[in-house]
Copies of this chain bind each other. A is one copy, B any other.
């Protein structure tokens, strides 16, 4: 029943603590003692569960990357509609970002600091780029959207969704210094803004040529 509350899985407890600390401070900035404190245990037990800092870090990092990749892949349907893709992508991606605002920064940072990992990781986790490309080709051929390189659209989407979170400490101070409450409503509105923005930018010309 409530055994989990009385005696929580220590391994899981450590992973969650490590997640918090690694994401806040990065690999070099994090301290094993701090992770132990965050987990409410001591250093010896920490090493009893995870032999080294690197092993622990790998767990956290790979999980973080897998989560992001999963959300992206889930919204790709080879035979689907572009606008449906955009809506589900933005919806799901902003949802996971709201829950884990610092994950992208964490990933980008560790990957630029330790690019050696990339090759190994890109074997383990794969984005369904071929499927995405085929969806784009078909939708463009069907004149549902104007011609555009699939890479551009994907990167536009990622950039526009992710940026407010990657730069959030700066944004809050630069844009919403005088009205700190504004940042919440801003992020709330943002989903609809992004969807509208992309719809209008991708809208084929014949649509409004026909209408008039």
Contact = CB atoms under 8 A, between A and B. Distances in A.
A2 interface: no
Each complex incorporates copies of this chain amounting to: 2
Contact of A173 (B119, B197, B205): B119
Contact of A156 (B160, B186, B200): B160
Given A160-B159, A163-B159, A175 B200 contact: no
A151 B102 CA distance: 21
**Majority SS of interface residues in chain A?**
helix
Interface stretch (A22-30, A47-55, A85-93, A134-142): A22-30
Contacts of A167: 108, 158
B29 A156 contact: no
Contacts of A162: 159, 163
A180 to B, nearest CB: 13
A4 interface: no
Interface in A154-180: 154-156, 158-164, 166-171, 173-175, 177
Contact of A149 (B29, B119, B163, B189): B189
A23 to B, nearest CB: 9
Contacts of A156: 160, 197
A122 interface: yes
Nearest to A125: B174
Interface stretch (A5-13, A36-44, A75-83, A109-117): A109-117
Given A109-B109, A173-B119, A173-B122, A193 B152 contact: yes
Given A129-B175, A149-B189, A158-B167, 20 more contacts: A24-B112, A25-B28, A28-B29, A105-B108, A105-B109, A108-B108, A108-B109, A112-B169, A118-B173, A122-B174, A146-B200, A155-B160, A155-B164, A155-B171, A156-B197, A159-B159, A198-B201, A200-B201, A208-B212, A209-B212
